[in-house]
Amino acid sequence: MQNSSSLLALWISLISNVALTVIKVVVGILFNSQVLIADGIHNAGDVIATFAALTSSLVSKKPADKDHPYGHGKAEVIASGIVAIILALAALFMVYKSIEALFEPAVEASIITLIAAIISLVWKQVLYVYCIRLGREKNSKSLIATANDHLADVYASIAAVVGIGVALIGDRYDLPFTQYGDPIAGLIVSYFVMKLAYEMGEESIGVLMEKSLPAEQLFQLESIVRAVPQVKRIDRIRAREHGHYVIVDVRVSISNDLTIKEGHDISRIIKVSIMSEMKEVEEVLIHLNPWYE
């Protein structure tokens, strides 16, 4: 059920991105709206990004095998990194097109382009809320990346609505300086898209480099392990994300006079305790050291 709901969200996102790309590019070209054309090209990149997320989601759910004993969870992280790169390239393209438009004669704004931008804004906001809620619920990196991609589109659509709206007002009341609202809006939105790309890329690199979990989660792990009465000392705790799940390494000291079976039972208690309280943990590796009074 978890897998099917995530895949459905990604399929909806893919189909939506294809449809919005066509709408924005066609309307943007017909009415010479630079911000709408740039947003449409951005959406074309979203199609590739969503396809990457969809593929990685299928791969990440595959069970561990001989070549990948820890599973395939990082496939989602790789897809998240791809989305970050595509967003960064889209932001640079939007900057280029917007600056280019500033040095060209301003074109008359159209109510049709405004309607197209409003449709995109509402559509992408709904998709963002849907995907981010499901992505956080399932702890799916690829779905969260897709949601952030939708959020970048929301920023772009807001800028398009404002820019085109300002230009329309300027045309109606003969305000010359408002005619460049469209490209100026494109410059503003490119900043937000680039910022989002940087944050996504930073997170993806952190997971791929096996960055430790945040301090508060490590403290929670320590508290769970210390609650096991037989644990005399925590020698080391390490934890890292592996895509949509977490792997934990624990090294603890227990009484040296316990049997191997008793040590095994304590390890089992520690593992079950961690996995029952931290649902994102799927693998716990435990090493026991002897404790001498």
The CATH number of the domain holding residue 150 is 1.20.1510.10
**DSSP string over 46-104:** HHHHHHHHHHHHHHHTSPP-SS-TT-STHHHHHHHHHHHHHHHHHHHHHHHHHHHHHTS
**Domain final residue pick, 208, 241, 260:** 208
Q: Based on the domain organization, do 254 and 165 belong to the same domain?
A: no
Q: What is the pLDDT of residues 50-103, one digit of tens each?
A: 777 777 777 767 777 777 777 676 777 787 788 788 878 878 887 887 788 778
Q: Based on the domain organization, do 225 and 93 belong to the same domain?
A: no
Residue 228 confidence (pLDDT): 93
Nearest to 9 by CA among 205, 199, 145: 145
Q: Based on the domain organization, do 185 and 223 belong to the same domain?
A: no
Is-contact 241 278, C-beta < 8 A?
A: no
39-58: b (≥16 Cβ within 10 Å) or e: bbbbbbbbbebbbbbbebbb
CA dist list (Å): 290 to 163, 268, 284: 69, 17, 20
Is-contact 109 239, C-beta < 8 A?
A: no
**Domain final residue pick, 149, 180, 208:** 208
Interacting residues of 279 by C-beta distance below 8 A, sequence separation 6+: none
* pTM for the model: 0.64
Q: Based on the domain organization, do 241 and 196 belong to the same domain?
A: no
Ramachandran region, residue 32 (left: φ > 0; alpha: ψ -120 to 50; beta: rest): left
Residue 23: HSE in the Cβ half-sphere, 13 Å Cα cutoff: 18
Both tokens of 8, joined, read 């459905």
Nearest to 150 by CA among 117, 121, 124: 124
Residue 2 confidence (pLDDT): 46
**Domain final residue pick, 156, 174, 208:** 208
Q: Based on the domain organization, do 86 and 110 belong to the same domain?
A: yes
Both tokens of 50, joined, read 């969503």
Give the separation between CA 130 and CA 5, rounded to whole angstroms: 11
Residue 252 confidence (pLDDT): 95
Give per-10-residue mean pLDDT for the chain (293 aa). Answer: 70 87 84 71 74 73 74 74 82 82 71 85 92 85 81 80 81 73 76 81 79 87 93 92 83 93 94 91 91 84
Residue 269 confidence (pLDDT): 95
Number of Cβ atoms within 10 Å of the Cβ of 266 = 20
Residue type, 122: V
Asked whether the CA dihedral 40, 128, 198, 181 is positive or negative, the reply is: positive
Domain that holds residue 180: 2-208
Give the separation between CA 54 and CA 7, rounded to whole angstroms: 7
Interacting residues of 86 by C-beta distance below 8 A, sequence separation 6+: 45, 46, 48, 49, 149
Q: Based on the domain organization, do 152 and 243 belong to the same domain?
A: no
